Structure formats: structure tokens, C-alpha cells
Amino acid sequence: MALFFAYLSVVAALASGLAALAVDKSPGLGRFAHLLLRRWPKLQVRAAGVFSEAHYAEFHRNSLFVLLGISGVSAVLAGGGALFGGAVTTDTLPLGLPWLNWHIRFDALSGFFYLLIGLVLIAVSLYGPGYVREFEHGRHPLSVLGLFTGLFVAGMELVLLADDTFFFVIAWELMSVSSYFLVAFQHEHASNRRAAFLYLLMAVIGAMAIILAFGVLAGFSGGLTFDHYRTVKLTPVWASVAFVLALFGFGMKAGLVPLHAWLPEAHPVAPSHISALMSGVMLKVAVYGFIRFTFDLLDQVLWQWGGLVLVIGAASTLLGVLYAMMQHDIKRLLAYHSVENIGIIFIGLGLSLIYISEGQQQLGALALVAALLHSLNHALFKSLLFLGAGTIIHQTHEQNIEHLGGLIHRMPKLAVVFLIGTLSIAALPPFNGFVSEWLTFQAALQASGIGGGVLRSMVPTSASVLALAGALTATCFVKLYGVVFLGLPRTRRAATCHESVHRGMLAGPAWLAGLCVLLGVFPTPMIESLNVVTGQLLGVTLPGASALGWLWLTPVAPEVASYSASLVLVGILLTGWVCYQLLYRRGGLEARRADPWDCGFGGLNARMQYTATAFSMPIRRIFEPVFDVEETIEEKKSGPGNFQNTGLHYQLRVSDLAWPYLYAPVARVVTWLSRWVSRIQTGNIRTYIAYSFFTLLILLWGIS
Amino acid sequence: MAWLLALLQTLLFIASAPLLAGWLKKVKCRLQNRRAPSLFQPYRDLRKLWRKEPIVAHPASWIFKAAPYIVLSTTVLAASIVPLIAVNLPTAKIADVVVLIGFFALGRFFLALAGMDIGTAFGGMGSSREMTVSALAEPAMLMAVFTLAMSASTTNLSVAMNYVLHTGLVLRPSFVFAMLGMMLVAVAETGRIPVDNPTTHLELTMIHEAMILEYSGRYLGMIEWASQIKLMLYGVLIVNIFFPWGIAQNFSLQALGFGALALTLKLAALTVVLGLSEVLFAKMRIFRVQEFLSFAYLLSLLGMLSHIILEVRH
């Protein structure tokens, strides 16, 4: 049954893509419906109305997203079925190579990621109809957007279903290539084309590493299905080679430091609902690939792998949030936070690998659960924030947060929904981001049992990096929320905007916000269901997770650590209510409105507010070595002796160190190599004929 | 019974927090050869603020009005999970020490948002600095807490205190380092000299006060009370984790009375240390705070390393 819904989800996504091609086919469809409904004149009139010029566009747009919504709902059903049913279903499709049909396997791990895709897809399908209207009259056809959205979603779902290398790689490439077209959708700007090209390049390099990683397994097992891989025994050296290749390939797609530089370029330039899918979901598919490869297919785990993943994860977490802090483009900021959150997930995975290599399966399961839960949480709140950012950009046409301000007065509902996303990503109790970070901390705190002293001190240190990153995330989101929603509007557009007229554009983020609160307050059922995943992958579960009942979360044992988010929420509400009753209801005076304090000078205006640049300046100064800062001040002087300052131009550019230190050298080497190779191109036809001749000669010699 | 006792302990906690602030003021005044106000002056100040008409700036949204309630309730909730005069109370199970740090973060988050809400430069400046300082303090705090948690193999405060009580008075280098680190963090987090000066109203040096500049009346009263509770919370954490002796282990009246007495003496002594350091040191420049806090982190890290190298047996 779960597999049926999984197929249905893929088919609905593909159907949505195909339906997008019918964007300007209303006359043909109208005639077809007219013929089809000959017997029912009433329906005929209706169909004529739907397919008329006036209504067709809306009908078409809605039907695309209804199909995506069906795909999302069935993905949730499929994922729920696999996760709560606990069964593993396999299947082969009569497609693919003649000697290798497409193998399908749907287990709890796939089911969990299916659930994640489905939940976000539902939000996107609510959000989409209102959002894509603006593209309808633009120069880019909606059909391209719809087609590749459908293919992209189907590709991601097929990756989760694949159980042989051939099918996996095809699905993976379908996902990568269709998302390339989505990134390049608004290709009139050169920067977007550049970002899309970079994205495609990275995807190709990453896919190459993934294919090589599978190649190592295939070479030793003599087959291409994952079942072959599960049984093969590798030497530690070859296993490490396969692991490093997989970490490189999947890590590149997931956006781990230092391979992350494509991510903040590519994700923001896609339309916002696609950004939500890419940052919220596609990165998780890469995480899925890594988990599938390392925890399921490889037969052994070495502690060095865990240490490597832990260090890379901690670096991604810290650098991701520091670079995010310096961004003023709302979507770029969110994209850098994806790097951070992927880092947190990989910290969890690294801890899990370390514990498993030490033979402590129970703790390995705990860390894996933390990583999986954070994947889900990040999918929810990051998609929520991207959709919210999309609404802000849609309503104000401003992407730079320095041009916004005071939106809480003009978009009160969106402000509440966005605030929930902000609190969740900042890992504050009692929201969902906190639960998974808390579990990661708990996993890190059990390091006493680890053998090596280096590893034992590395684990708590990485936890303190996580603490620093968490606090910096809170800082960053105070900046984002404070500058965008609070204070005074900084431009006319921000002052005159209003809440979106499309209810779906609020309903999509609100659905995700509801899930964030739900998972934050009642995390235990979700963690219980993740036991099925760890049971299938590692053979152990967390029996004590709900030892005190479902209100309490006790990951290791009740006396080691316990957390009851629901009681925390009740406590906060109750205390707040008591204070309100005592201080205000009982004879408290009504607040009087007055002008803010202006030091007695008067004339405060919006330009005197603290800006985002000023807000993040202390962090920039403290962490200066990790940024590439270019700060210039030009003064214009005039008057006698150039004493009078008539103008001041301040320019600040903060960029990522990955560019000058990693990407630029690689690009230089590639350019140099291509120059060198290009020497064989003389432009002379006789030389080319000679090349062909000698190639033929060598080939013939080789054959004979 | 136990829940009722926990509730009473929380009420005692939040009721006695202004008294600690009064005592601190008294100590400082005596050290500076000034005449001190009465011990109960903080209560009078709070009562005055609660009765006054609050003034709210025009651009303020609901966040500005909600923030004091959230700050106060998270602080009260934090106070409810920290064992004050008795261990083994059921409230300690609701949240462990990591969640405690999360409570502080939640309150601070809303206070920083409220600082940005008015749209003046002071509020933004205060928010930016407060968030920066606390971001740097957080890893040091957690590292110190982790040292304790790894020794006692729990993050539950009550269980951890029991562990320290039962191992007896042994000199652990890791605890010494962790305590020093935690004291430095406490100074930064509660906004005391040398990181911040709670009595200043000079714009360029303010951190916490700049953020709450627009507050008045009962809103200001709530925030003041919350910061007094927070000061006491850090004090109680330090004395009860590192010197838990005297704390009541059963709920007999005698044990509770002795626990209250022991706590009063310990807190009074710790406050004298704080007052002395406030009198002896000058406030630092804002960009020296990172050095102060990285020193705190270093101390906590040393504590962690000495725990791992010296104290774990295999």
C-alpha cells in the first residue's frame, strides 16, 4: 500500500509537469471537452466557461498545483505507511537496461524522506497558484516552470525509491538537470546564468564522484543492485575510498564547506517556491544518499570517517552562519543558513559514525535520530522561511533587507508565521529546531565511553561549536526579523505594501508553521517512529525515549536527561498569564502612546535606524579572519583648503573565503590545462586529418 | 506534595531575587565608602514601576508589549527548574541544563527584537551588542556545563548536584576550571562590570540598558525583576553545583531550614566576591569583551580537557 502511494506521488508529479505544457492549448482542449461532453449539455456549458480565454489561465495554474498537492499528500501517506508500518517493500519495473531492470525498494528510511518531501510539497502547492501569477505575464513561459518543477519533484522521489546504481544515477541526474532549468528560469540576468552554470558544473562533478563511489562497490560485488552491495566485504582501504568519494559527491550536493559556494548563488535566484523545495528538500535528498551509502551499503564503519564528518560538519555549521550574518539579500541569507543546518545534520551523522565504530550502537542510533529529526525540522522551517521571503519579495519587490522595515504593521499575519519560522531556526524552546539540537547535544555528551582521547575531546568541542553557531543563528535572525518586520519602513515600497490577497500564499507557510510548533511541543511520537528507521539500518532502537510517557523526551534514560516541551509551553503560558492578570488586569494603567526618545533633538526618521550592516558589524570585526572584507570610504571635499566635506561614499563588500582560496585556484588550473590542451587545435585541416589517421591506426593496432 | 514544594521554592526564588540585588548594592556601597540604601530598596523600586503609567512609543508593535511577559515567564520557568534549597524536586525533570540555557536565549531573543521594534538607533545598538556578547558567552557556558555533565553523566541539575554531594569534597581540577569559566560567563550574561555597566546611562557604553531604553512602567518593572532573578539564578547555579553542601536532600522542615540558611550564606559570600570585582575593575571597551569571553571559553575547555585526560578511568 505504501508503495502504491509512492508510485502515485511520482505519477502525479510527472502529470503536473506534463500538464504545464498545455499552457496555451485552451482552444484545442475546449473543443476536446465539447466533443467529450456531448451527452451532458450542462457540463458542456461549464467546460466552455473553464476553457474560455478569461478563465483558462487560472484553471491551468490551479490544476498544476492541485496535481502537485496530490503528489504531496500521497507522498505523506506513502512515507507514513512505511514509517509506521515498518515493512520493507521491493519491486522491479520493466524499464532500464535489458539485463538490469529498475529495482525499487521502499523502506523506513526512504519513507521518512518521502514524508519530508510530501509535507513541504503540500505547502508549496498551496502557495504556488498565487505566487506564479506574476510570471504569467512575464517573458518566461509558465510551461517551463511547471514542467521542470514536476520533473524535479519526480526525480527526488525516484532517488528515494532506487535500489540499483543505474536507476539511482538516472533519478539523481533528473533531479539535478531539471533543477538547473529552474535556477536558470529568470535567465535575463547574467548573474543568474552564471549561478545556474556553476550549479550545473558542481552537480556534474558531484555526480561523477557518486558514480565512482558506487563503482568501487560494484567492482567488488560484481553487480549493480544495492542488494549486491549490502553483502560485499571490502578492505578498509577500499571502503575508505568509497566513503570519501560518497562524502565528496553527496556533500557537494548538500552544500558542505568548502564545497558550498554554489549553494548561496543558485538557491536564491530560483523562484521562491522552488528555493523552498531546493533548500528544504533537495539538500535532504543528498543527506539521504549519504545515509543510504554509509549506513546501509557499506559493510563497515571506521572511526576516522566519523571524525572527518564531524570536523566538516562543525566547519559548515560555523562558517555557514558567519557568512549568513553578512548577507543582506534575504534569500541569500537563508541559503547560507542551509549550509549551517546541513552542518548540524552532519555533526549528528559524524557522531553516529563515531559511536558505531566504537561498537556503541545505541548511542549511534541516538545521534542518527538527532540528524534525521533535524533534517525534517530544517525542511519545515527553511521552506517556511523561503516561502515567507517569497511573499515579502512578491509584495514589496525588494530583496535587500536594508530597504524594508516595519512590515509587521502592514503584514501582521505573515509576521506571526515568519516569527514562528525564525524561532524554530534559532533553536529556541519549545519549537522544533531546539528538539533536534538538544538531541545532538545529548548524543555529544555521552562521549565518555569513547576510546581515543583525541576523539573524546573532539566530540564536546564540536558541541561547543554547535552552541556558538546556535547563538549566532539567533543573532542573525534577530537582525533579519528586526530589520524586515520591525522598526520604521525604510523605503516607500516597504511603507505601502500589504498582505497578499491570495489566501494560499499565507496558508502554505502557515501549514509549515503549524507543523513546526507541533513537532516542537510533541516530539516524542516522531522520535518513536524514527526507531523503525534505526531498527532497519542499525538493528537497535531507543527503548527509553518515552520511558516517562509520551509527554516526556528521555533519549538515553530518565535520570540522564529529560525534556518536556509541552510542560515548558504550559509553564510559559501560565506564568505569562498570571503576570498579565496581576499587573495589568488588576488596576494596571493603560499604556500611553508617545514619540520615541530622541535625546531632545527631535526629527527622528527611518534612516536613523540601526541597519543590518551595523547590526552585524561586531561579528564581522570579531571573526574578521574568516571573511574577505573590502571596505572603502571615499570623501568628497571642496571649499577653501578642501576643508568642507560635501559627500561621503562608503562601500563594503564581504565575501566568502572559499572563492579566493579554493575555487579560484581550481579554476586557474583548469584554464591552464585547457590552454595547454588547446595547442593541438591548430585550425589547419591537414593536422586534423592526420589526427584522425593516427587515431584510426592506433585503434586498429589495438584491435588486432 | 513534592510539586507543591517545588512551587513554593520557585516563589521563594523569585521573591528573594530583589533582596540579593539590594545586598549587592549594599556591598558595593560599603566598598566605595558610600551610604547604602536599604536592603529592601529594590522592592520599593519594583512597586513604584508597577504602579506607574507605562509609555509606549508610536512605532511599537505587539512584540514590544509581549516581550516583557515572555522574558519574565522564561526566567521564572528557569528558576523553577534550578534546585534552590532542596534537590530531588520533580520540576527539575521538565528541563535540563541545556534547556535552561535555551530559556535564557528565548527571553533574550524577544528582548532584542523589542529593542529593534521602535526603530531608533539605541535599541538596535543594544540588541546587536547583547546578541553578540551572548553568542560568544554561550559556548563557554555550555563547555563548563558539559564538564559537569560528563563527570556526573547527566544534564539534569538535580541529579548532578546529588552526584557532587555524594562524591564528597575532592579537588577536581576540571571543576575548578569550569567554575572559573562559569563565573566569567555569569558576569557577561547578567551584564555586570567589566562587560556591561547596569548603572550607566551613557549611550556609547550601554549594552543591556540601551536595548530596554524605551521601556517604562510595569514593562520596565518586569524586565528589571527578570534580570534580578537571572542574576540570582547564575549565583545559585554556581554555588549549588560546585558547593552543594547544605542543600536539603529530604523534605523535612529541619533540612529545608538548614538548606535555606546554607544557601543564604553561600550566596551572600559569592555576592561579596562579585561586588569586590565590580569595584576593582573598570568597564571594558566593547571590542575587548571577546577576549574576556574567549578566556572564559579557554578556562572551560581546560576544564573539559583535564576531565578527559585526568579523570576518566578506563
Angle (CA) A689-A690-A694 rounded to 5° is 120
A299 pLDDT band (50/70/90 cuts)? confident
Beta-bridged to residue B16, according to DSSP, are none
B93 vs A562, A571, A593: nearest CB: A562
Alpha-helical (H) ranges within B32-61 are 41-51
**Angstrom distance (rounded) from CA B149 to CA B146:** 5
| Inter-CA distances, A41 with A47, A53, A54, A533, Å | 10, 20, 21, 54
State the sign of the Cα–Cα–Cα–Cα dihedral A341, A344, A349, A352: negative
Dump pLDDT digits (tens) for B163-183: 888 887 777 888 999 999 999
Task: Give me the mean pLDDT over the A59-65 stretch.
Answer: 87
Q: Give the domain ranges of chain A.
A: 660-703
Q: Give the 3-state secondary structure percentages of chain B, helix then strand then coil, rounded to 5.
A: 75, 0, 25
| Inter-CA distances, B159 with A600, B78, B93, B101, Å | 54, 16, 9, 17
Residues in chain A: 704
Tell me if A470 and B138 make a contact (CB, 8 A cut-off). Answer: yes
The single-letter DSSP state of residue A130 is: H
Contact B233, B76 (CB under 8 A): no
B314 pLDDT band (50/70/90 cuts)? low
Contact A627, B89 (CB under 8 A): no
B152 pLDDT band (50/70/90 cuts)? confident
Tell me if A597 and B213 make a contact (CB, 8 A cut-off). Answer: yes
B61 vs A408, A579, A619: nearest CB: A408
Dump pLDDT digits (tens) for A531-574: 889 989 888 888 777 777 777 888 888 788 888 889 999 999 99
Answer whether residue A53 shows pLDDT above 80: no
Tell me if A453 and B309 make a contact (CB, 8 A cut-off). Answer: yes
Residue A702 is placed in which grid cell? 589495438
Residue whose entry in the numeric block shows the C-alpha cell 566605595? B32
| Inter-CA distances, A614 with A236, A542, A587, Å | 51, 46, 41
Q: Which of residues 136-175 of B touch A (CB under 8 A)?
A: 136-143, 146, 149-150, 153-156, 159
Tell me if B150 and A461 make a contact (CB, 8 A cut-off). Answer: no
Answer whether residue B313 shows pLDDT above 70: no
**Angstrom distance (rounded) from CA A149 to CA B128:** 40
Task: Give me the mean pLDDT over the A507-513 stretch.
Answer: 96
Dump pLDDT digits (tens) for A606-624: 888 999 999 999 999 999 9
The helix-helix angle for B289-306 and B121-152 (nearest 10°) equals 10
Torsion of CA A457, A460, A462, A464, to 10 degrees: -130
Answer whether residue A51 shows pLDDT above 80: no
Residue burial A137-162, b: 16+ Cβ < 10 Å; e: rest: eeeebbbbbbbbbbbbbbbbbbbbbb
The mean predicted confidence, pLDDT, of chain A is 90
Q: Which of residues 231-290 of B touch A (CB under 8 A)?
A: 286-287, 290
Q: Closest Cα partner for A257 from A307, A323, A330?
A: A323
B108 touches A: beta carbon within 8 Å: yes
State the sign of the Cα–Cα–Cα–Cα dihedral A102, A105, A109, A110: positive
Question: A381 or A49: whose pLDDT is higher?
Answer: A381
Sort strands A100-106 and A89-97 into parallel, antiparallel or unpaired: antiparallel
* Interface contacts (A, B; CB < 8 Å): 267
A474 vs B76, B109, B314: nearest CB: B109
B294 touches A: beta carbon within 8 Å: no
Phi and psi at residue A599, to the nearest 5°: 60, 20
Q: What residues in A contact B65, CB-CB < 8 Å?
A: 591
Tell me if A610 and B218 make a contact (CB, 8 A cut-off). Answer: no
Contact A512, A426 (CB under 8 A): no
A591 vs B50, B56, B102: nearest CB: B56
Task: Give me the mean pLDDT over the A55-81 stretch.
Answer: 90
Least confident of A202-206, A208-212, A590-594, B12-16: A590-594
Tell me if A622 and B99 make a contact (CB, 8 A cut-off). Answer: no
B123 touches A: beta carbon within 8 Å: yes
Residue whose entry in the numeric block shows the C-alpha cell 537496461? A97
Rounded to the nearest angstrom, the gap between the alpha carbon of residue A610 and the centroid of all alpha carbons in its chain is: 30
Kindly give, in sequence order, each residue whose CB lies less than 8 Å from that of residue B206, ignoring residues fewer than 6 positions away: B122, B125, B126, B196, B197, B200, B213
Question: B95 or A35: whose pLDDT is higher?
Answer: B95
Tell me if A591 and B286 make a contact (CB, 8 A cut-off). Answer: no
Q: Which of residues 459-518 of A touch B (CB under 8 A)?
A: 460-461, 463-465, 467-468, 470-472, 474-475, 477-479, 481-483, 486-488
Dump pLDDT digits (tens) for A435-476: 999 999 999 988 877 877 788 888 989 999 999 999 999 999
Answer whether residue B134 shows pLDDT above 90: yes
Sort strands A100-106 and A644-656 into parallel, antiparallel or unpaired: unpaired
Tell me if B93 and A406 make a contact (CB, 8 A cut-off). Answer: no
Contact A26, A156 (CB under 8 A): no
**Angstrom distance (rounded) from CA A568 to CA A585:** 24
Answer whether residue A36 shows pLDDT above 80: no
The single-letter DSSP state of residue A563 is: B
What pLDDT does A641 receive? 77
Q: Closest Cα partner for A554 from B147, B94, B164, B149?
A: B94
What pLDDT does A418 receive? 96
Answer whether residue A274 shows pLDDT above 60: yes
Sort strands A627-638 and A644-656 into parallel, antiparallel or unpaired: antiparallel
Q: Is A602 left (phi over 0), alpha (psi -120 to 50) or beta?
A: left
Tell me if A487 and B119 make a contact (CB, 8 A cut-off). Answer: yes
A676 pLDDT band (50/70/90 cuts)? very high
Number of neighbouring beta carbons within 10 Å of residue A99 = 6
Alpha-helical (H) ranges within A446-523 are 453-484, 492-496, 504-521
**Angstrom distance (rounded) from CA A78 to CA A13:** 14
B37 touches A: beta carbon within 8 Å: no
A544 touches B: beta carbon within 8 Å: no
Kindly give, in sequence order, each residue whose CB lies less than 8 Å from that of residue A399, ignoring residues fewer than 6 positions away: A329, A330, A331, A393
Residue A566 is placed in which grid cell? 509541552
A22 pLDDT band (50/70/90 cuts)? confident
**Angstrom distance (rounded) from CA A128 to CA A117:** 16
Contact A512, A384 (CB under 8 A): yes
Q: What residues in A contact B52, CB-CB < 8 Å?
A: 589
3 state SS of A500 = coil
Q: Return the amino acid letter for B272.
A: V
The helix-helix angle for A142-161 and A2-19 (nearest 10°) equals 160
**Angstrom distance (rounded) from CA A133 to CA A142:** 9
| Model confidence, pTM | 0.94
3 state SS of A414 = helix
Q: Give the domain ranges of chain B.
A: 2-311
Beta-bridged to residue A93, according to DSSP, are A102
Number of neighbouring beta carbons within 10 Å of residue A540 = 18
Q: Which of residues 165-224 of B touch A (CB under 8 A)?
A: 213-214, 217-218, 221-222
What pLDDT does A162 receive? 93
| Inter-CA distances, A564 with A569, A571, A699, Å | 9, 11, 72
B94 touches A: beta carbon within 8 Å: yes
**Angstrom distance (rounded) from CA A303 to CA A306:** 5
Least confident of A680-694, B125-139, B255-269: A680-694
Tell me if B124 and A615 make a contact (CB, 8 A cut-off). Answer: yes
What pLDDT does B204 receive? 67
Answer whether residue B203 shows pLDDT above 70: no
